[in-house]
Chains A and B, each alone.
Chain A
Amino acid sequence: MFFYKKNWLKGYITIEIRGQYPEHFFDMCARYGIPSWDVSKKNTTAAIGKIKLSDLSKLRRIKKRSIYKVYFKERTGLPFLIDSLGSQKPLIIGCMIAFAIIFILSNIVWRIDVSGLDEEIENKVLLQMEEYGLEKGSFQWNIDSPAILQKKLLEDIPELLWVGVKKNGSAFHLEGVEKTTVEKPEEAEVGHLIAAKEGVIVDLFVSKGQPLVRPNDVVYKDDILVSAYLEQQEEEDEGNKAKPLAAEGEVIAKVWYKSEVSIPLTNNYHVLNGQAETKHYLHFSSFLIPFWNFMNPDYTNYQMETEEKNFYFLKWKLPISYIKQTIYQSEVMEKKMEKQEAKTLALEQAKRELLRQLPLDAEITEEKVLHERVESGKVKLTLYYTVLENIAKKQPISQGD
């Protein structure tokens, strides 16, 4: 019956009324709006019945006005059940310990699988992981996120071409692809060597092919420097078309570069001055609850770093996470430079930029400042460089026709 179920959830009390005509007490209850049920008379001076727990205060008021004595016999229902559970401390402590153990165990790494790798590299990967603090039995909250691990692994183990780190509950799955460093014999392609840039030839080292230029020749872009055909004249005399070969060699030439740099005379730097505040938060769905270090540092310039750790219960991610926030104080430094200082800096910068474009064996022989001016707080330089570099570039000859 619905009536009973509802009352069980809210709790009800069995009361015993003693006095002359105890049924009148229940009649009074009914009139003051206290429903009662299962009322029966034990003898002429005692009756028992049931009332709702929520009507208890009203009952007290009626009791005061009447001559009857009220005894509480039984308490039934959910509120009392909870109360009685609450008073059983060992049970509650046991439950809490059980939950705590499950919680701790859920946050431990139980397994690390590595697939797709040789045993040797697999061991290397596992050792590397141990260095990051990830091994069987370590706590998950000390470990970086899989994406970061992935990146670190790729950086630290050069044999790996690709590695995928996947976190699956309390297990880590690693999938790797090895670099197969097979030395491919470079197929010498048949072709001329042509000039990649304009310049003046300084030196020639030709190992294969017929050089067509001499030192101090001026060559333009795409001029043939070393031909693939040997001694063209003679071969043509014989009537045989010469077989072209792969021209090889180095052609060192003087090449000129013009570059422009501008350097501001005043520079602003953001510098961390070592002052930092670390704040700890509990992140609960959309709430951020600070639980350590409530102070808000009054830094005018700062940099912020946040780190988030998740917690797991069995395989579920708990809605609670821990956030560590570090606020570093930074200072703005203004640096003013003299014109001369700025100029040397500009020269260095221009040289660096040029070297980045050039092959490793190139050599800057001469550097000239063509033009120099100060304009709206900046030093502008136009520079001219003479560089010795290999300008030979392969141009394949298609042999089909």
Chain B
Amino acid sequence: MKKMRETLKTVFTNTFDLPSEVTLELPRITMIGSIHAYIENHQGLIVFSETELLLKIHQGNVRINGEGFVLKMMIDKDILLEGTIKDVKFEDE
């Protein structure tokens, strides 16, 4: 049932040419070089430390590793991360 709904959503998005992050509840991650990462539409913060940021996203997590992390801004579903970003990993549930 859940799978069917996901497929329907994808088809819907592709047919009407809608931005995928809106309909599919996917996060949008904007990065400026390796110093800034702007994550929109995440679903919660799990771990944050100087070297790591773990965010819950739709169907999984996103893990950002690096150094000297500071959350420059935290609004409802957006996070602006500042620091030296080494890698961004998507992990399944």
A-chain residues with CB within 8 Å of residue B77 when the two chains form the complex:
30
Q: Given the complex of chains A and B, what is the CA–CA distance between A313 and B44 in angstroms? A: 60
User: Is A26 in contact with B45, judged by CB distance below 8 angstroms?
Assistant: yes
Q: Given the complex of chains A and B, what is the CA–CA distance between A3 and B74 in angstroms? A: 12
Kindly report which residue of chain B lies nearest to residue A31, judged by CB atoms: B76
User: Which of these binds chain A: B9-17, B30-38, B64-72, B84-92?
Assistant: B64-72
User: Is A33 in contact with B76, judged by CB distance below 8 angstroms?
Assistant: yes
Given contacts A41-B48, A41-B49, A41-B50, whether A29 and B74 have CB atoms under 8 Å apart is: yes
The main secondary structure of chain A at its interface with chain B is: mixed
B1 within 8 A of A: no
**Looking at chain B, what size class is its interface with the partner chain?**
10 to 19
B-chain residues with CB within 8 Å of residue A113 when the two chains form the complex:
none
User: Is A36 in contact with B74, judged by CB distance below 8 angstroms?
Assistant: yes
A73 within 8 A of B: no
Given contacts A31-B76, A33-B76, whether A26 and B71 have CB atoms under 8 Å apart is: yes
A35 within 8 A of B: yes
Q: Given the complex of chains A and B, what is the CA–CA distance between A3 and B48 in angstroms? A: 23
State which of A24, A27, A33, A40 has its C-beta within 8 Å of the C-beta of B50.
Answer: A40
Q: Given the complex of chains A and B, what is the CA–CA distance between A30 and B69 in angstroms? A: 18
B-chain residues with CB within 8 Å of residue A38 when the two chains form the complex:
70-72
User: Is A23 in contact with B47, judged by CB distance below 8 angstroms?
Assistant: yes
A264 within 8 A of B: no
A1-52 with Cβ < 8 A to chain B = 3, 21, 23-24, 26-27, 29-31, 33, 35-41, 44, 47, 49
User: Is B72 in contact with A37, judged by CB distance below 8 angstroms?
Assistant: yes
User: Is B48 in contact with A35, judged by CB distance below 8 angstroms?
Assistant: no
User: Is A23 in contact with B45, judged by CB distance below 8 angstroms?
Assistant: yes
B4 within 8 A of A: no
Q: Given the complex of chains A and B, what is the CA–CA distance between A21 and B52 in angstroms? A: 13
User: Is A40 in contact with B73, judged by CB distance below 8 angstroms?
Assistant: no
Q: Given the complex of chains A and B, what is the CA–CA distance between A27 and B39 in angstroms? A: 14
Given contacts A27-B44, A44-B49, whether A35 and B71 have CB atoms under 8 Å apart is: no
B-chain residues with CB within 8 Å of residue A35 when the two chains form the complex:
73-76
A-chain residues with CB within 8 Å of residue B74 when the two chains form the complex:
26-27, 29-30, 35-37, 39, 49
A-chain residues with CB within 8 Å of residue B79 when the two chains form the complex:
30
User: Is A37 in contact with B71, judged by CB distance below 8 angstroms?
Assistant: yes
A139-178 with Cβ < 8 A to chain B = none
A297 to chain B, nearest CB (A): 66
B-chain residues with CB within 8 Å of residue A47 when the two chains form the complex:
48
B-chain residues with CB within 8 Å of residue A31 when the two chains form the complex:
44, 76
The 3 closest A-B pairs by CB, nearest first: A23-B48, A39-B71, A27-B45
